[in-house]
Structure formats: C-alpha cells, structure tokens
Amino acid sequence: MSELLKVPTMAEFMAQGKQPEVLFWVGSAGSFDDRAKKITKAFVKILNSANVEFAVLGTEESCTGDIAKRAGNEFLFQMQAVTNIEVLNAYEVKKIVTCDPHSFNCLKNEYPGLGGNYEVLHHTQFIKELINSRRLAVQQDVYKDKRITFHDPCYLGRANNEYDAPRDLLKLINARIFEMRRHKQTALCCGAGGAQMFKEPEKGDMDINVLRTEDALETRPNIIATGCPYCNTMMTDGIKAKEKENDVVVMDVAELIANAQNL
C-alpha cells in the first residue's frame, strides 16, 4: 500500500529546480497521531489520483504554534510562526492546503501579520476545487443511502465561515445528510479546541465530546463525518463512551472521498 503513496518534499522539488502546485501542510496531528495519519494518507491518495504536484515540508515542518497561542503562550506561538515563515518563504511557497482547521486558521489569518502571506485552503475546499475543475471524479454508489451527519469543526465553520465545502462533498457521494440540531453557526464544539485536547477538562457534569456525540446520535447516523483530526478523536471517544462503536463510525470527509473512489 505505502509504496503507492507519492509524497515528495519541498527539498526534492527545490533540488530539481521546480515549484509544486501546492504545499501540503501535514500538521503535528497528521504526522504523529495514529488516527490522523490515516486521514493524511487518504488525502495524499486523492492528491496522487488527481495528479496534483504537491510537496510536504517533511522534517522541516514544525508545529504552527496555534495551540500555544490559544493556551496564552504568545511567545512560543510567535517563535514557531517566525521559524515556519522563514522556511516557507525560503521555498517561495504561495499556496498551502491542510487537513487541520487549526493550522488552516493559523496559517491563513495569523501568519500574515508576521510576514507569512499565502493562499491557504482547507482540504475540503481543495478537493472541491479538484472536482470542479474535473481533475477528480467520485463514484456515487459506495456511500449511497448511508446516513451521514457532519460535525462542523469550530475553526473551519464559525472561525472562518466555511460551512459549504464539506457538505458539498458529502452530497457528491450521494449520502443522505442529516443535520444535527446544532449545526453550522450554532454547532457545538467537540471539546478539543483552545488547547483542551492536551489537558483534563475542568470539573463539570459531563464531557463536552459526550454531549456533542449525543447531538450526533440524535440523527441516527451510520457515519459521523468531520474535517478535523481533533474533532475526529473527540467524537470517536464520544462514540466509545456511548458504546456505539459497532453502529457508528467517525470519518474524515477526505477518507469518505478516497473510499468513494476505491483508492
């Protein structure tokens, strides 16, 4: 399987004197988290099948600093940002795509003020572009009539007003989409944002991810789709807490698209 994946690095492109079409920002979760790595690979399969000339930074990539910023450590964030911007600008990167809405938000909105100006896309937006320009086609029967609900990642939805791209992709694979009571602008957070992913929650009645999973289960889904590695972890844990792991799976939109192509 892995030999099929073509994952060139920026350094390799540079050595050949070429520029890729887009830089794929993998992110820390996409690089190291076992569940998120599957999303990374699914997205690479899509890129490969659409013949996208992309590159990754590989070992030259470092945490965006987004989590540190939201935890209050502006120093660490800016150290990370300035270091990453040096690398990105040295490679003359113009366009970035990422599967992580937190990286997406940070690169798109917070790097420009520190000298990093790029066109930044979330992977659902990029895949939509590929389909619109007929570089990628999806088969429509794999998920036909499956009940899917989409959990809006805060940093894609409220933070950047992108509600349509992931839903448009779900429509393409012919799934039946059932919206949760709280969706789009009123979607409930999965509980991971603002550095919560890395600490125990404060004392309360229940965990946020369990509440959000209850929202999702009300739609009686076969699949909970999302577009964020952290949301994915939180919702997967929520499904386990509700003992529904045999009935419901949590999947990234990129995985659904890749599966719909039998990639």
Out of 13, 37, 129, 163, name the contact with another protein by CB under 8 A: 37
Q: What are phi and psi of 52, to 5 degrees?
A: -80, 130
Q: Give first-to-last CA distance, the chain, whole Å.
A: 10
In 3D, which of 204, 124, 134, 218 has the Cα closest to residue 170?
A: 124
Sign of the C-alpha dihedral computed for residues 239, 1, 228 and 135 taken in this order: negative
**Binding status of residue 186 toward another protein by CB under 8 A:** yes
Out of 127, 138, 189, 248, name the contact with another protein by CB under 8 A: 189
**Binding status of residue 205 toward another protein by CB under 8 A:** yes
Return d(Cα 53, Cα 125) in angstroms, integer.
17
Within 10 Å of residue 252's Cβ, how many Cβ atoms? Answer: 26
Show the tokens assigned to 64. 């965006």
Nearest CB to another protein, comparing residues 79 and 249: 79
Nearest CB to another protein, comparing residues 143 and 212: 212
In the complex, least distance from residue 84 CB atom to another protein, rounded to whole angstroms: 9
Nearest CB to another protein, comparing residues 19 and 62: 62
In the complex, least distance from residue 221 CB atom to another protein, rounded to whole angstroms: 20
Binding mask 80-119 for another protein (x = CB under 8 A): x-xx---------------------x--xxx--xx-----
In angstroms, the Cα distances linking 158 to 2, 31, 187 are 36, 26, 8
Write down the residue that tokens 């794999």 correspond to. 142
Nearest CB to another protein, comparing residues 123 and 212: 212
**Binding status of residue 15 toward another protein by CB under 8 A:** no
Return d(Cα 70, Cα 78) in angstroms, integer.
12
Footprint of another protein on 229-248 (CB under 8 A): none
Show the tokens assigned to 152. 């809006």
Selected range binding another protein among 13-21, 127-135, 154-162, 163-171, rule: CB under 8 A: 154-162
User: Which of helix, strand or coil describes residue 55?
Assistant: strand
Nearest CB to another protein, comparing residues 193 and 221: 193
**Binding status of residue 206 toward another protein by CB under 8 A:** yes
**Binding status of residue 78 toward another protein by CB under 8 A:** yes
**Binding status of residue 212 toward another protein by CB under 8 A:** yes
* Contact between 23 and 53 (Cβ < 8 Å): no
Instruction: Provide the phi-psi class of 145: left if phi over 0, else alpha when psi is between -120 and 50, else beta.
Output: left
Nearest CB to another protein, comparing residues 108 and 167: 108
**Binding status of residue 227 toward another protein by CB under 8 A:** no
**Binding status of residue 41 toward another protein by CB under 8 A:** yes
